[in-house]
Amino acid sequence: MVEISHYSKEVVNICRKIYNNQLVKQGEGNVSIRIPNQNAMIITPSENDYENLSEDNMIHMDFDGVVLQGKLKPSSEHIMHCYIYRKRPKVNCIIHTHSPNVSILSVLHNDLPVIFEEMAMLLGGSVKCSKFAQAGTEELPKVAIKAMKKQNTVILANHGLLVVGRTSEYCVKTAVIIEKMVNIFLNAKKIGDVKVISTDNQKKFIEIFDARYSTY
Ligand SMILES: [Zn+2]
């Protein structure tokens, strides 16, 4: 059996990657991974200290929100993480960031259209923006899942980005690519009309998404 500390280490690794890629500032966002066959996860603490990451600061919590082990207060978004793991058994990792460019899009309540083919493959189509819901409430995952539909990603209105996936590698890669794509999208919009890739041209890539990455 894999030790619980293995999963805490993995959460620390993910935190390091999203912090180094500037998708979160000190104290922002949250990350979790599912512990197989346990109805439980390892989640980051409230006000996560990215400058002093330690696996001992991570929290072992079940999907009812009960802390099984951990000395710090869990992220206030644990409600969202619990909700999604219960709703989507194929999800093994959840990353929530306040990525700078995605945050700009989130206050515009704008979707991110498919502007590169790789987006259709990785994201399964355009990334939708959810309705607004308060952080830390059960309303937030509800509006998030609703806007996400069959995909893995959603822009949380006036807030940031949420990515779920089968693996942590996918979630990190996807969070990084979305931030890059939103940057391209917002800059292109300043210059002129953004041309998006047609649904027809996305088809074969969305089939790959369904086979490889879908958690629906
Ligand atoms: Zn947040």
* CA-wise closest residue to 82 among 32, 24, 143: 32
Q: Percentage of residues in the chain with pLDDT exceeding 70? A: 100
* Segment 71-92 mean pLDDT: 98
96 C-alpha to ligand 1 centroid (Å): 6
Give per-residue pLDDT as tens, 115-161: 999 999 999 999 999 999 999 999 999 999 999 999 999 999 999 99
Please tell me the predicted confidence (pLDDT) of residue 107: 98
Give per-residue pLDDT as tens, 20-76: 999 999 999 999 999 999 999 999 999 999 999 999 999 999 999 999 999 999 999
Contact 114, 196 (CB under 8 A): yes
Please tell me the predicted confidence (pLDDT) of residue 47: 97
Query: Domain boundaries in the chain?
Result: 4-212
Whether the predicted model's global pTM rises above the 0.95 cut: yes
Q: Percentage of residues in the chain with pLDDT exceeding 90? A: 99
Contact 131, 157 (CB under 8 A): yes
10 C-alpha to ligand 1 centroid (Å): 20
The CATH number assigned to the domain with range 4-212 reads 3.40.225.10
178 C-alpha to ligand 1 centroid (Å): 16
Q: How confident is the model at residue 2 (pLDDT cuts 50, 70, 90)?
A: confident
202 C-alpha to ligand 1 centroid (Å): 30
Please tell me the predicted confidence (pLDDT) of residue 166: 98
126 C-alpha to ligand 1 centroid (Å): 21
Q: How confident is the model at residue 191 (pLDDT cuts 50, 70, 90)?
A: very high
55 C-alpha to ligand 1 centroid (Å): 21
Please tell me the predicted confidence (pLDDT) of residue 58: 98
What is the residue-averaged pLDDT of the chain?
A: 97
> Is residue 1 pLDDT above 80, yes or no?
no
